[in-house]
Amino acid sequence: MEDKRNIPIIEWEHLDKKKFYVFGLAMTMMIRISVYPFALIRTRLQIQKGRSLYQGTFDAFVKILRTDGVLGLYRGFLVNTLTLVSGQCYVTTYELTRRFVSKYSQSNTVKSLVAGSSASLVAQSITVPIDVVSQHLMMQRRGETMGRFQVQRYEEGQRVVAFGQTKYIIQQILRADGIRGFYRGYVASLLTYIPNSALWWPFYHFYAGGGQELNCLDLQAAVGRGGALGLHEGSLCQDHCSNSLHYVCSDRL
């Protein structure tokens, strides 16, 4: 029976980093714009007492539109977009850690486990404080708040300061809880994401490792399909043909 696990892996050194980061950020931003209103609605539904304000997802969507307009569905969005950095840091940390560990061990399991854990640690350290602030902003409604803190209100004709509400939320968190206030749920996040990442990557490489080695024609075809991601075709094929290396193109690109 033919082995279907022919998953081409593109190694870190063969990527055009500029294209990789630009395309990665652009694609993630488009997805974030699409799903953010539902993340806001989910957060409010989880916070409210019973059905005191919203009867469900559709009811919340209609009421937010009616009360605050389209912008109401994107409260805290600009702050939340800062978490896009954590995704890029995750990939970078994973690849660099994997290369570092490879100096001491050639085991894919060891490299992937250590790199996956390190990547999640870095990503969550960036993500959690941003999430805390953006979630407090999500809780702000016209004229009232569903959360712990109330943002500063601006009267008609008063100058609106850019990121003024964000600054006000940050000041209140610092006064109430100090720096620790930005890391509420941090340990829980680490206990969720580190084991997940540490286990997922070794299993991925174990599965991918069952594939057959690619010849140069297969590799060139893979590079052609991945051109938009910034793969360096010349160096990839040259390294493969001269050193008979096995590359795998992963869906983490």
252 part of a folded domain: no
57 part of a folded domain: yes
250 part of a folded domain: no
Is residue 144 classed as helix, strand or coil in its secondary structure?
A: strand
Q: What is the pLDDT of residue 253?
A: 36
215 part of a folded domain: yes
Is residue 140 classed as helix, strand or coil in its secondary structure?
A: strand
7 part of a folded domain: no
Q: What is the pLDDT of residue 245?
A: 33
Domains: count for the chain: 1
CATH of the domain at 235: 1.50.40.10
229 backbone dihedrals φ, ψ, rounded to 5°: -90, -5
54 part of a folded domain: yes
Pair 247, 10: CB distance under 8 Å: yes
In what helix (H) or strand (E) does residue 115 lie, and over which residues does it extend? helix 108-138
Q: Provide the CA 198 distance to its chain's centre, in angstroms.
A: 16
**Which residues span the domain enclosing 167?**
12-148+162-243
pTM (two decimals):
0.70
**pLDDT, tens digit only, all 253 positions of the chain:** 445 555 565 666 777 777 878 888 888 899 999 999 999 999 999 988 888 889 999 999 999 999 889 999 999 999 999 998 898 899 899 989 998 998 998 888 899 999 999 999 999 999 999 999 999 999 888 767 677 777 766 555 544 445 678 888 999 999 999 999 999 999 999 999 999 999 998 888 777 764 433 343 443 444 444 444 344 433 333 333 333 333 333 333 3
53 part of a folded domain: yes
